A and B are shown apart, each in its own frame.
Chain A
Amino acid sequence: MAADVHNKKVAWETQNGSLAPVGKLRAERSDSPTPGLVEGTEPGAGQDDAMFVHTRSFEDLTADGEEGEDTDPSGPASGLGTPLGDREQPEAEPVGPEEEQAPEAPAGGRAEEEDVTSEAWRGRRKHVFVLSEAGKPIYSRYGTEEALSSTMGVMMALVSFVEAGKNVIRSIHADGYKVVFLRKSPLVLVGVAHTRQSERELTRELLYIYYQIVSLLTLTQLNHIFQRKQNYDLRRLLAGSEHLTDNLLKLLDRDPGLLLCAVSCLPLPSSTRDVISSSLQAAKSKSLVFSILLAGNQLVTLVRKKDQYLHHMDLHLLFNLVGSSSSFREGEGWTPICLPKFNTAGFFHAHISYLEPASDLCLILVSTDREDFFNLSDCKQRFLERLRRRSAYPALQEATRSPSYPVSQVGIPELRHFVYKSKSSGLYTSPELPAPYQTEEEQERLMGLYQYLHSRVHHTTRPLRSIYHCGERENLLAWVTSGFELYLCFSPLGTKAQAVMAINKLLKWIRKEEDRLFILSPQTY
């Protein structure tokens, strides 16, 4: 079964390996001026095996190798996939997120309908549209799909017109905004952004949205639907799931993890984390593939089946599923979910529940068996018992009360904020947002600056070792080595000499704190 589930692993490896320009540069990066920090020895690097599929900061958008061949429903994934028919009749006891959430969608989110000819609509920072190849609207972030159906028709016309010339449309650039197209058959995704993000960053965000939709249906089903009926209205199947996409777009604007392809961990004494991990490890079951404990949008621990790796994108989709639905707080949830970077053809079944109704701690147990609900419910009970017996629960609860740390702990006065990613473990750490960046607008502005630095250092043809940007509101520095990526934000009064000193001091501090900030010894069943 396990091998079956993981039949796509080979495809990922070649996919990541095909990032040609970066691949060439990797060798060069390893003789960076920090010999002690080669990949795998940087602060935050796991001691054993990593938890995640090894990815670079950018997904390769051009390699489509993983898809296409999955369209045959009797293909390798059939052992684990749930046919679409099952989805349309939600299983008896548990709560499936899409079907039952529609009525309780957050009031502020989708409720008001915008006039798509208004200045306010045009002025939106980032629009996202999803349509079918027949030009039928599937999703729009702002404004109803009905009102936008002609606009989306034009979008599809542009895509097919360029394709008729054996070419592919990528983007349109104008003063102050960009329109980015992503063609992922059978869907077309279009983003319109007034941000400083590069075309590539925006395409990656659209890819996230695409995978979000695939995670609800599987690509196999998606292809099947459109093969059967080209102008099918996919909204019928996705009804009630818009808030998942809305929330994912919000995360993309604010969470550096999605930008860096990394996950942040709840700061926790390593002894406590070890107890939790081993308790979770002990609560195993035959068809269990991943056990994930979250605190808000941070990872507490992750236990996986030997040889099975989770991809960041899939984990972020799980985060998003949990983060955008309040129904899991009411009891144990049982939902089919496709983890598209793992396998676009089949469903996993996730048991999702909070440890306590009022707590931020959420346990996700991912199984291959759709009849496994009671088994997994039992796993959860065993985990909780063990946790109590070894009295780790109070320490864990204590830690969730301070899920972050102020940047002042590092002791560098000019430093306002930073993001540090350990490449080999795929984990990052970042302090809480300080004073000027606490409003939503400023938070997104800071993220925008990090996105800008990220796109420059990871440019496809002209990548950089480092970039220092000195502006009127803040000074920024990004540095990429073979072992880590570091993004720093300084007060505009800080000097370059202070910045250089800050890097050394910060790296020492992270090294000192690494067993609290990172998961150094990931577990397998």
Chain B
Amino acid sequence: MICNLKSTARFAYVIRGGRETRHARADYHKEAVQRKITLMLMISPRMATAIQEKQYAPTLLNFFVYNPKFGPREGEEEKKILFYHPNEVEKNEKIRNVGLCEAIVQFTRTFCPTKPAKSLHTQKNRQFFFEPEENFWMVMVVRNPMTEKTNREGKPTVEYHEEEIIDTVYGAVLQQCYNMYKLFNGTFSRAMEAGGVELLKQKLETFFYRYLQTLHLQSCDLLDVFGGISFFPLDKMTYLKIQSFVNQVEENHSLIKYTAFLYNDQLIWSGLEQDDMRILYKYLTTSLFPRHLEPELAGRDSPMRPEMAGNLLHYGRFLTGPPNLKDPEAKFRFPKIFVTAEDGYEELHLIVYKAMSAAVCFMISASVELTREFCEQLDSLVGPQLTLLASDICEQYNVNRRISGPEKEPQFKFIYFNHMNLAEKSTIHMRKTASVSLTSVHPDLMKILGDINCDFSRVDEDEEIIVKAMTDYWVVGKKSDQRELYVILNQKNANLIEVNEEVKRLCATQFNNIFFLD
């Protein structure tokens, strides 16, 4: 949410530009900042008469889970509700809101029994419906972004921006909520079988109470729709080294069922199913890694890395499990996750071990008890090797960067996603964590990318869309053979033909001409 004084709609636009520059962004925003300064100067004498305006970003209003079968009789409606955020909401209002969702879903079945409603648009908010398991409904209610103005009489008026929110983005966020729950708790029906409604309610409460606080709805964008995995580009030699490292560890510890290897928040190797890796990757990169960033940045003598002193052989440490191997009294446990198995789901311990920028995840069946001895063994085997590998990869990475020449601000930025291997690449996002997504382009351009993505998802055909925005940026979207590419070009005076040539060059250099459609 940003609060600011302003007098015209035009100025509102500049302020939004200004918000980005606070995060120190690309060159073309300098212009916006300058414009903002001039405007400030222009309007400041009239500030007294200016209308006060406050801008509000989209926020989470409600989030609930219900099952219509649990309270079918009148008077028992409350039983349908399994989780409701915020919990303070009065009981009758909860029942009313759940009732509306039921009615909407039921109503749309009149027109298509198999494809019920996915979202409801109202003036003030949008509701997203998702039925992840039969009869279990998850609903997320997002308040539309709005502007609050105080007019000359001093009366506040609110204007809702109804077309700012893109359905596919928030629909994907809701599905992510479920997938994240499932990763740590298994399915809803599993909890029902294990301990009935009470256990499910308890699990939902524990999980979503914390998880919902990490949802940052204002920074959701196209990348949430893809939910892809960023892969680390690597030469063959180094890749083989990593693979032999993984094989060696798995051979030494036959308990390990799956392994995943990441460098710099990017995936290099994974033995998990794609869909499991996708959600685990999301957890690691947006939640676990950012939480453990500080000790590495801290100096050697800093109290934040106490256990480092005694261990000069390597930089390895556990991100999950025992925080300090030297302390025999310290209790520890590994988080459990649920992944796809031949017969439904299997429960696993998740061990995440990190040395410098290299991280490796080992997954071991939850039925095995993991002892301190095991951790020590793993530490002494993996620690030194991973430290070595990390510096190898780092060196290789720097060599490659030098070869590709000094980095200069390119004329274009792009997002690429491959539906087959979930590979995603973005030069638009600086860094994506749970709390902030730093993009280098104006939010409206990001939304145009979202619009193009919606257009693509409607037909299963190869398509290309080139648009020129009102700000004169060109945006190109290409969909070909399960791959999608979105390019934003900062060549305002270019024409359609030149833009096409530029994108062709980009495809040739970055993607080996995988996009054939002219």
Mark A residues whose CB is within 8 Å of B: 20-21, 24-25, 28-29, 122, 127, 151, 154-155, 157-158, 161-162, 167-177, 179, 192, 196, 199-200, 452, 456, 459-472, 495-497, 499-500
Contact = CB atoms under 8 A, between A and B. Distances in A.
Given A174-B116, A179-B108, A495 B122 contact: no
Interface in B443-477: 444, 447-448, 451, 455, 458-459, 461-470, 472
Given A469-B464, A499-B496, A174 B123 contact: no
B464 A173 contact: no
B122 A167 contact: yes
A12 to B, nearest CB: 22
B104 A461 contact: no
A158 B116 CA distance: 16
B35 interface: no
30 contacts: A25-B470, A122-B110, A127-B111, A154-B107, A158-B107, A161-B103, A169-B121, A169-B122, A170-B162, A172-B119, A172-B121, A174-B115, A176-B112, A177-B112, A199-B121, A200-B163, A456-B451, A461-B161, A461-B164, A461-B447, A463-B470, A467-B466, A468-B465, A468-B466, A468-B467, A469-B463, A471-B462, A472-B463, A495-B518, A500-B495
Contact of A464 (B9, B463, B469): B469
A459 B455 CA distance: 14
A393 B370 CA distance: 99
A468 B103 contact: no
B98 to A, nearest CB: 12
Smallest CB-CB A-B distances: 9 pairs: A470-B464, A168-B123, A465-B468, A170-B121, A468-B466, A175-B115, A467-B467, A173-B119, A466-B468
A463 B466 CA distance: 14
B117 interface: yes
Contact of A470 (B120, B161, B163, B463): B463
A467 B475 CA distance: 9
Given A465-B469, A468-B466, A472-B461, A161 B100 contact: yes
Contacts of B518: 470, 495-496
Contacts, number: 145
Contacts of B115: 174-177
Contacts of A127: 111
Nearest to A501: B497
Given A158-B104, A161-B103, 19 more contacts: A151-B110, A170-B121, A172-B108, A172-B120, A172-B121, A177-B111, A179-B111, A192-B111, A196-B458, A452-B455, A462-B444, A466-B467, A467-B465, A468-B464, A468-B496, A470-B464, A470-B518, A471-B459, A471-B463
A196 B459 CA distance: 10
A127 B167 CA distance: 23
B507 to A, nearest CB: 14
Given A157-B103, A461-B161, A24 B120 contact: no
Contacts of A174: 108, 111-112, 115-118
Contact of A459 (B112, B116, B451, B497): B451
B157 interface: no
Contacts of A122: 110-112
Contacts of A192: 111
A496 B122 contact: no
Contacts of B167: 173
A162 B141 CA distance: 14
A25 B162 CA distance: 19
Nearest to A127: B111
Contacts of B161: 461
Interface string B90-134: 000000000010011001101110011111111111000000000
A25 B468 CA distance: 14
A43 B82 CA distance: 63
B151 interface: no
Contact of A462 (B10, B112, B447, B463): B447
Nearest to B459: A471
B455 to A, nearest CB: 8
B136 to A, nearest CB: 18
A472 B472 CA distance: 27
A176 B117 CA distance: 10
